[in-house]
Amino acid sequence: MSEGRRAPGALESEVMAALWAAGRELTPAEVQSALGSTLAYNTVLTILGRLHDKGRLIRRPAGRGHVYWPAEDEAVFAAQTMRATLTGRPDRERVLQQFAAALDDADAAALRAFLEADRP
């Protein structure tokens, strides 16, 4: 897809997700490859800078540039809020638009078969 079709803020979301998926500090070049897309290095740098300015990323100098990692307070707080709101309450989960939930064994087997058959 062309990068221009993304919703505003979508790139920031992808960068945050990539850093969390990595689970360690990343250089801008590593973020660029972790995004798995054809994003320009300068674009990645701009987004990292913007997220750092917002306080969502922490960075320290490394080599000739910086390495970045997510500010964890926000994620820990979000996890606590989610857990307190949702855990053990089926009626509460039902009100959400969840990406995927509630699977029985037959469906699970069919989905596994789909992913198996699909493996490149």
By CB under 8 A, the count of residues binding another protein is: 59
**Binding range to another protein, per CB under 8 A, among 41-49, 57-65, 66-74:** 66-74
Contact between 4 and 43 under an 8 Å Cβ cutoff? The reply is no
53 touching another protein, by CB under 8 A: no
Phi, psi of 41 (to 5 degrees): -55, -40
Give the binding range for another protein (CB under 8 A) out of 41-49, 60-68, 78-86: 78-86
Q: 107: part of which helix (H) or strand (E)?
A: helix 105-118
Does 62 engage in binding with another protein (CB under 8 A)?
no
Looking up tokens 């919703």, which residue turns up?
7
41 in contact with another protein (CB under 8 A) = no
Determine which residue in the list 16, 27, 58, 69 makes contact with another protein, applying CB under 8 A.
16
Torsion of CA 66, 69, 72, 74, to 10 degrees: 90
